Structure 1
Amino acid sequence: MYMLCVLGLFPGSCCKDNASKVDGRCIESNTWDKGCTKALIDYMKLYLGSLGYIAIGVAVVEILIVISACCLSREINNKYATYSNPKARA
């Protein structure tokens, strides 16, 4: 890969369009300005804040559901104990 870059030929995936490929390789003048890694990092930085807020919102909803389930379970156990004990009904 490094030798191809020194010769001015890059992999075909670096080309902006398929018309200027030479033997499946791309010449330096037709390559993208930044690489895939840099583009991915820039994309993640752009949307990382929104993803964080969404994750926090989902976590809060899950915590509320767990608290509701615990309260419901306790209420069911209290009612079962009340109705299963004949002395408590009298």
Structure 2
Amino acid sequence: MNQESAARVRTPNEIEVDFATLVRSGVPLETAKLKFEVLWDETNRAAMTLLGSAEGNAYIELLRRMHDRFEVQFRNAPPRKSSKSDSTS
């Protein structure tokens, strides 16, 4: 692998395609966890690098979607509640 490909940051869409493939793959939970962790780390690194920008926000939103979908798909847990409150208390 050359330096250019090592430094390339994939777009949120590219990562999301790989994540969708993982979700549909039917792999055992332990394998899914390992693959999820790799995708999560890649997405998180990009989000941290671009923090505070529109591009960074796209990665953060992807992290949220990935978390929710992984929990539902592989752990049969309900999606986490949104951090935004719908009430004005």
TM-score by length of 2: 0.27
Select the structure that is richer in strand. 1
Select the structure that is richer in helix. 1
**Which of 1 and 2 has greater Rg?**
1
TM-score by length of 1: 0.26
